[in-house]
Structure 1
Amino acid sequence: MPKDRRRRRRGNPGTETETKARRKKKKKIKRSLAVMFAAFESEKAQPQPKLDRAYDDDVVESSAEESSYPPSPLLHKPYIPDELAHRPDIRAAYKHAEAEYRADKSCRFVFTSDRYSPRSCLSNDRSLLHIREPAKDAVLFAANSVVALESRLDDEPLNRCSGLWIQWDDKKNTAVVLTSAHLIRAKEYDEWKNEWTDEYHREAEVIVRLLDDTTAEASLLYLQEHYEFALYEVVVDKPVQLSTFNDNVNSGQDGFRLGRDENLDLRITHGRVEYRIPIRHERCHYMYFSNDEHRFRDDGGPIIDLEGKVVGIVNNQINETFLPSSILHKCLNSWRKLKCVPRAHLGMTFTSIKLLDPICIERIRRKHNISSGIIVEQVSKESNAEKLGIRKGDIIERFNGEYISSTTELEKMLLDIGGDQFDQAKVLNAEIGVQIQIFRATKLCRRVRNLTVIVSDCGENIIEGTYPITDGLWK
C-alpha cells in the first residue's frame, strides 16, 4: 500500500511531460513578448504595450478632492454702464478690470488658446473635405509613434529629423527608433546631384525628444547607407506606441507626411503617392510623395495612409522621395535576424517599362514583343555587368528565371539573394552568380547570361563611364 500511495503522488509520467511542455511554452511566450516589434500588415499584429493614461487617475483623485475646494471664480467680461461712461475714475477702474480679465482668460485657456495659430491642411484645405474625418483619425493614431530627433557634432547643431518607434524591450526598458540617415549626414550639399553628401558622422551625439517634453540620449545601432535609414536605441522609463506598417501602396493614393517641429507640434502635409522615373542620382527603388508644400523638413517621418498605417519613411523631403514599407519590411527582418542588411549589387540602375508613356510601351510591345521588364539606365564603369556586355538601353526581362516588371520587385529579389547568401556563408563582399535574360537594344536579340554580383551591406555607387579628350580636331 505505501508503494501504491507513492506512485499516486508521483503522478502519471505522461501527464508530467505534458505539464513541463506547457510550462516551457509559457516561458517561451513570455520571452517573445518581452521584445515587441512594429507590425506589418502581412504579419499577425502583436499586442501593443499598454500606455500610461495619467489623466484616468487624475479624474478619480479630482472627484474626491472637489468637495474640499471651492469652484473657480466666474469669468465675466467687465463693461461700463452708459450712465457712468463720463466719469474718469470709472474709466480707470475699467482699464484695470479689463487687464485682470485678459490675464485670467489667458491662464484658463492655456490648452486651447493656440487654436487660432496657423492650421494644418486638414483644417484649411476644403479640397480634403471628403476625407477629412478619416484622415484626422489616421493622423492622430499614427502621431503616437512619431518623435523628433536632433544631432550635434562637436557641440554644434548638425541636423534635425523625425522618427518613429519600431521596437520595445520590456525587460531592458529600451526602444528602437527608425529615422533617416540624413540625421547624421555631413552638411555639405552637392548642387550637381541635388542631394547631401554621402559622408556620415556615426559618432555624432543624438538626442530624442519624447512626447512628454523630456529628452533621452540615443545610441546608434545600425546605419544603412543604400536605403538611407538609421536605427537608434533609447532608454525609456515607460512603454512606447509602436508603428503599424502597410506593405501595400498604390500610385495615386492619398497620403499624409508627418513630422514634428522644434516645439514638438505635429506637421501634417497632404499629398499623393506615385512612381516616377528617377533622375540620375536617385535610387531606382524610391517612391515619391507629390505635394505643394516644400517648406518643411520631415526627413525620417512617416508617410501614412487613411488608416494611419505607415506606407514608407521620408529619406529626402527636398526631392519628395521615400522608402516604401515593402522594402523596409525586408530590411528590418534582415537586421533583426542577421544584424545587417546584405544586398546583391548588380552595378546597374534601371527604369521600369510600365513607367513610360503608353505610346512608348505600345511601340516596344508592337515591335519587339516585350510587354514588361526593366530598362538599363546606367552601367557602372569596369563592373562585371559592363564586362559582360550589358549596355544602357538593354532590357532585363527575367531575373533568376522569374519575369520582372518593376524596380521594387527587383529590389526585393536582391535583398532575398543577399540575405540567403549571408545566412549561409556568414561573410559580406562575397561573389555569387545570378542568371538574367537580356534583350539587347543594339542587336535586337535575346540572350541569357550569368552575371557575377557582390553581396554587400554598403551603399551601391554607380561610377559613370568617362574618357578624356586629348586630341583636338585641328592641328
Structure 2
Amino acid sequence: MDAEGQVSKIEELSARAENSTYNLRQRKDDSVAMQRRAKFAWLKEQQNQRRKRRKEAKTLRQKEIREFAEKAWISIRNTLDRLPKRKKKDSENRTEVINADTSVAIEMEEWRPYFSTPEIGVFKTTLKGASWEVEKLVLQVAPSVVGLQSKAGGTDHFFCCGTVVESDKETHTIVTVANLVKCPDTDEVAGDLKINVYLHNNETCEGKLVYHDFYHNICLIEIQSPIHLQEKGFSSNADAVHFGKSCSRDVVTLGRDKEIHMLVISTGKIIPKRSKLDCEELVVSTCRISKAEVGGPLMNFDGDLIGMNYYHTNETPFIPSVIILKFLQQYAVFRKVVRPSHGLRVRTLYAEGCDAFEKMQINFRGATGVIIEKIEEQSPAKSSGLNEGDIINRVNGVYFSSAVEFATILLDIGTSYLSDLPILGQLGNSNKMAIRIKFGVMGCEDEKTVVVDKFTSDGLNRWPFPKPIIVRQYVKGKKVLEDWYSLES
C-alpha cells in the first residue's frame, strides 16, 4: 500500500475511533430529513421576520404617539394663550357645594332631594288594607305629632318629628330623637342651638332642650304654648314586639313633611330582623319613611304607640315603646336616666336567621332570651364566668325573652339604685355605682354574678345619619338659596 492509501486508512480508523468514543452515529443525509431541516429553517426565518416587523411597528407607534402628544400640547397651549385672562373670583356672587367631593359633584343627575317623601298627606295615602277605623285612629293621633327644626349657629342642623307625651297647662313635653341636638361627629350637644317646633295647626313655637340620652338616642323638648295640645302616651304592652306571642304586626308611621308640615304616613309590618345599627334593642318594620320623619311615632292598628322611628336606607328601625316609657318614668322622678354598664353585647335569638333559630329551638326546646355576641375587654363581665355564645334568659331571677325586655330590666335596676341613694337620685361627683347583677344562663343552674361599677356611656351606640350635600347660592354676598340633596339610592 502506498503512502497516500495509508494516510486515508488512518483517517478512516481515526474517525471510527472518535465516533465510538462519543457514542455517535453517522447522520444519513436522506431526502426526508433534508426536507424537514429546510422547513424548520424556513419557519424560524418567518418567525424572526414577524418579530422584526412587530418591533418596527411598535417603534413607529411610539413615535406617532410622541408626535401626537407634542402637537396636542402645542394646540392646547395656543388655545389657552388666546383665552381671556381669568378674573378674580367673585366672592359676592357664588355657589357653594358642601359635603361633596369633586368626583361626586359632577354627577348631579344622581342627586335627589334630601328630605324627599314617597307619599305626602294622609288623604293621599292608601292604608294598604286598613279599615276606616284605623284611618280614624291615625287622625286622632295626628295632633300629637309635631315637626322639629334645630339650628346651630344660625345654620340648619337637623329636622325630625316628635310626639307630645305630656301637657301641663301651657307647658308641653315632646319626645324625639337626640340627633336633633347632637353634634354629628361627637357625643356632645351642638352649641348655640335654636329649636323650632311646628304644631298641627301651623303654629310655630320655640323649643328648649331639657334632657338628652345618646345611648338610646332620645331627647325631651319643652315648649310653651297657650293652646291645648293633645298628648299621646306610649304603650306599655311589650307583646307588640314579642315574636313568641300571637298578635297583629300591622303598623303605621306618622310624621310631618319638612316644607309644609303636612301629616305623612306609611304602613308596613314588624318583622323578626336585626337592625343594622349598633343598638341591640331596636326592632325593624317594613315601613319606608323619609329622613324628615325620624323621631315620629309608630302605631299599631289598635291605635297604640309602640315605638319611635329611626332611619335607614332599606328599613325603618324603631325604639320600642316600653323602653321609652321606662325612660320617661325614671326621668320624671329623678330628672336623669341611668342603666348599669355590664359589658355584654347581646342579640335576640330570633335575629339569628331562620336556620340558626330553628336549630336553637330544636336543641334547647323553645329557648328564649338573648345570646352573648361579645364581652367587652376590661368590663366587669369579663371575669364573671360568662362566655360568648351563652344564652341568658334571666336577670336577678326575672325571666325575659328578648333584648328589649333585657333593656327594661336594666332600666328598672337603675331606678332601684337611684331610689336607694341616701339623697334620692343624688349621685354625687363620682358618677359610680356598685351593683351585683346575677345572670342566669340557659342549661346552667348556677347564676353568674357581675359587679357593675359604672353607667353606660353615651358613645356605646352609634346613630349615624346620612350627611346632606348642601348647595348654597349667594347674590351680592347674601345667601338667596339653600338646597339639600342626597346620593342614596
Q: TM bucket by the smaller chain?
A: 0.5 to 0.7
* 1:269 has 2:258 as partner: no
Q: How far does residue 423 in structure 1 lie from its aligned partner after superposition?
A: 1.4
CA distance in 1, matches of 2:120, 2:209: 35
Equivalent pair of 1:158/1:187 in contact (CA under 8 Å): no
Partner in structure 1 of residue 163 of structure 2: 164
Q: How far does residue 458 in structure 1 lie from its aligned partner after superposition?
A: 4.2
CA distance in 1, matches of 2:366, 2:250: 32
Q: How far does residue 403 in structure 1 lie from its aligned partner after superposition?
A: 2.9
% identical aligned pairs:
24
Q: 2:396 aligns with which of 389, 396, 400?
A: 400
* 1:385 has 2:376 as partner: no
Q: How far does residue 343 in structure 1 lie from its aligned partner after superposition?
A: 1.1
Partner in structure 2 of residue 420 of structure 1: 416
Give the 3-state SS of the residue equivalent to 2:415 in structure 1.
helix
Letter in 2 for 1:430: M
Give the 3-state SS of the residue equivalent to 2:310 in structure 1.
strand
Unaligned runs of 5+ in 1: 1-116, 189-196, 464-475
Equivalent pair of 2:285/2:316 in contact (CA under 8 Å): yes
Q: CA RMSD in A?
A: 2.8
Q: CA, structure 1 residues 314+384, in 2 after alignment: closer, same or farther (shift >3 Å)?
A: same
Q: How far does residue 123 in structure 1 lie from its aligned partner after superposition?
A: 4.6
Partner in structure 2 of residue 435 of structure 1: 438
Q: CA, structure 1 residues 438+244, in 2 after alignment: closer, same or farther (shift >3 Å)?
A: closer
Q: How far does residue 379 in structure 1 lie from its aligned partner after superposition?
A: 1.5
Equivalent pair of 1:396/1:437 in contact (CA under 8 Å): yes
Q: CA, structure 1 residues 370+229, in 2 after alignment: closer, same or farther (shift >3 Å)?
A: same
TM-score of the two chains, using structure 2 as the length reference? 0.61
CA distance in 1, matches of 2:270, 2:361: 27
- Which stretches of structure 1, 4 residues or longer, exceed 6 Å deviation after superposition? none
Q: CA, structure 1 residues 159+124, in 2 after alignment: closer, same or farther (shift >3 Å)?
A: closer
CA distance in 1, matches of 2:182, 2:461: 20
Give the 3-state SS of the residue equivalent to 1:391 in structure 2.
coil
Partner in structure 1 of residue 112 of structure 2: none
Higher relative contact order (CA 8 A, sep 6+): 2
The higher radius of gyration belongs to: 2
Letter in 2 for 1:238: I
CA distance in 2, matches of 1:351, 1:205: 37
Letter in 2 for 1:379: I
Letter in 1 for 2:270: V
Letter in 2 for 1:228: N
Letter in 1 for 2:181: I
TM-score of the two chains, using structure 1 as the length reference? 0.63
* 1:232 has 2:229 as partner: no
Letter in 1 for 2:300: D
Q: CA, structure 1 residues 334+295, in 2 after alignment: closer, same or farther (shift >3 Å)?
A: closer
Q: CA, structure 1 residues 238+394, in 2 after alignment: closer, same or farther (shift >3 Å)?
A: same
Q: CA, structure 1 residues 246+404, in 2 after alignment: closer, same or farther (shift >3 Å)?
A: closer
CA distance in 1, matches of 2:297, 2:210: 20
CA distance in 1, matches of 2:303, 2:400: 31
Partner in structure 2 of residue 298 of structure 1: 293
CA distance in 2, matches of 1:303, 1:370: 29
* 1:219 has 2:208 as partner: yes
Q: CA, structure 1 residues 211+277, in 2 after alignment: closer, same or farther (shift >3 Å)?
A: closer
* 1:286 has 2:275 as partner: no
Deviations 1:134-170 (A, max 9, x none): 2321211111111111000111100001111111122
Equivalent pair of 1:341/1:457 in contact (CA under 8 Å): no
Give the 3-state SS of the residue equivalent to 2:417 in structure 1.
helix
* 1:177 has 2:166 as partner: no
Q: How far does residue 356 in structure 1 lie from its aligned partner after superposition?
A: 3.7
Q: CA, structure 1 residues 311+368, in 2 after alignment: closer, same or farther (shift >3 Å)?
A: closer
Q: How far does residue 213 in structure 1 lie from its aligned partner after superposition?
A: 2.3
The 5 Å alignment of 1:323-342 reads 323-342=319-338
CA distance in 2, matches of 1:144, 1:459: 32
Say which is worse superposed, 228-237 or 370-379, in terms of deviation: 370-379
Aligned residues: 329
The 5 Å alignment of 1:199-210 reads 199-201=188-190, 203-210=192-199
Q: CA, structure 1 residues 433+350, in 2 after alignment: closer, same or farther (shift >3 Å)?
A: same
CA distance in 2, matches of 1:225, 1:299: 15
Partner in structure 1 of residue 24 of structure 2: none
* 1:144 has 2:147 as partner: no
Q: CA, structure 1 residues 367+405, in 2 after alignment: closer, same or farther (shift >3 Å)?
A: same
CA distance in 2, matches of 1:242, 1:368: 44
Give the 3-state SS of the residue equivalent to 2:381 in structure 1.
helix
Letter in 2 for 1:304: M
CA distance in 2, matches of 1:315, 1:215: 24
* 1:452 has 2:448 as partner: no
Q: How far does residue 351 in structure 1 lie from its aligned partner after superposition?
A: 1.6
Q: CA, structure 1 residues 336+124, in 2 after alignment: closer, same or farther (shift >3 Å)?
A: closer
Letter in 2 for 1:309: D
Equivalent pair of 1:350/1:377 in contact (CA under 8 Å): yes
Letter in 2 for 1:179: T
Equivalent pair of 1:182/1:315 in contact (CA under 8 Å): no
Q: CA, structure 1 residues 367+430, in 2 after alignment: closer, same or farther (shift >3 Å)?
A: same
Give the 3-state SS of the residue equivalent to 2:420 in structure 1.
helix
Partner in structure 2 of residue 91 of structure 1: none
